[in-house]
């Protein structure tokens, strides 16, 4: 599974029964790299639950904001953008293949 890749690359991984997420904390920023939700839990707001848990971890470690990004070349990018904005992230910057977001904690 891909989560092993993130662990090998030095990321932290939060796991739950519905999926997992990888993140990196650096200074006052917590970058959420990836959130994977098992198919049977999709459309149930479980991604938000995982992001909430990561937010708590980030706050405990002194982070001031979350960041994240979307790959604009992926087929489901519209859904990802809806979820990210619905969670309260705001646009930060973009290029031809990615959009970056931030959220104050």
Q: Which tens digits make up the pLDDT trace of 62-99? A: 999 999 999 999 998 998 999 999 999 999 999 999 99
Which pair of structure tokens corresponds to residue 91? 């646009």
Q: Looking at the 3D structure of the chain, how many domains does it have?
A: 1
Stated pTM of the model: 0.90
Q: What's the CATH code of the domain at 85?
A: 3.40.630.30
Choose among 68, 74, 71, 70: nearest CA to 88. Answer: 68
Q: What is the pLDDT of residue 35?
A: 93
Q: Which tens digits make up the pLDDT trace of 10-32? A: 899 999 999 999 999 999 999 99
**Structural domain harbouring 91:** 2-104
**CA gap 51, 27 in Å, rounded:** 19
Q: What is the pLDDT of residue 1?
A: 57
């Amino acid at each position: 599974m891909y989560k092993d890749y993130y662990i090998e690359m030095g990321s932290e991984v939060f796991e739950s029964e519905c999926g997992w997420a990888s993140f990196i904390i650096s200074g006052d920023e917590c970058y959420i790299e990836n959130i994977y939700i098992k198919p049977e839990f999709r459309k149930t707001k479980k991604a938000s639950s995982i992001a909430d848990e990561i937010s708590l971890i980030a706050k405990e470690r002194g982070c001031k904001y979350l960041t994240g990004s979307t790959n604009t070349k992926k087929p489901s990018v519209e859904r990802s953008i809806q979820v990210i904005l619905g969670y309260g992230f705001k646009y930060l910057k973009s290029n031809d293949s990615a959009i970056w977001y931030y959220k104050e904690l």
